[in-house]
Chains A and B, each alone.
Chain A
């Protein structure tokens, strides 16, 4: 498809386990973003990639969260030692550029993570 693709769409795991969530952005989009949306809330910024590098990871809640984008396309969000509070929908977005005149992000449908 032509949109942002996220896998898995649903992930149920046990407390303490390791989880990886994958994002495949729109072809040609150099900027990629991860947001987290808790139930009944708006999305919260986690991290932004420009190319292969994390240009802003100020939204990552703690060092259990890490994200990579080794070839400047697909990105993986990694969560270690999951906690029940990590349960949320993790949204990925991409754009052609992240300059201040844009803000028009193209979002995927999200990966719903449930930590039991």
Chain B
């Protein structure tokens, strides 16, 4: 069984503050993939990143960075110098293979100007 927990329901910050979104997962699979998706108010989910369970290197992409720690089953996501356009619901997801994603409940991020 797969389970993804996003303990933070809502986070509100002022523009330019950093935001870290927590994600903890449970799985019995030895090989799996972790994802982050963004859901803006328009509703469509937008893919942000995929990591496989063998690659624990942290990753930075512009203002986004991800911290994968297999020892604590966590895959946290940080937005540096947040902007109003970052306001959205962010979902962490887990899958033993590509398509059958198990999503967390999501964290709503509100960035105020």
Contacts and interface: CB of A to CB of B under 8 A. Distances in A.
B26 to A, nearest CB: 15
Interface stretch (A13-21, A60-68, A73-81, A95-103): A95-103
Nearest to A99: B98
A31 B50 contact: no
Using C-beta atoms within 8 Å of the partner chain, give the interface range for chain A: 20 to 34
Contacts of B102: 45
B91 interface: yes
Nearest to A59: B100
B45 interface: yes
B45 A103 contact: no
B35 interface: yes
B50 A40 contact: no
Contact of A107 (B4, B44, B106): B44
A54 to B, nearest CB: 12
A105 B44 contact: no
A70 B103 CA distance: 29
A18 B46 CA distance: 30
Given A45-B101, A97-B98, A101-B98, 17 more contacts: A40-B106, A42-B105, A43-B91, A43-B101, A44-B103, A45-B99, A45-B102, A56-B100, A59-B100, A89-B43, A100-B97, A102-B98, A103-B95, A106-B47, A107-B46, A108-B44, A110-B43
8 contacts: A42-B104, A43-B101, A56-B99, A99-B98, A100-B98, A103-B50, A103-B95, A108-B44
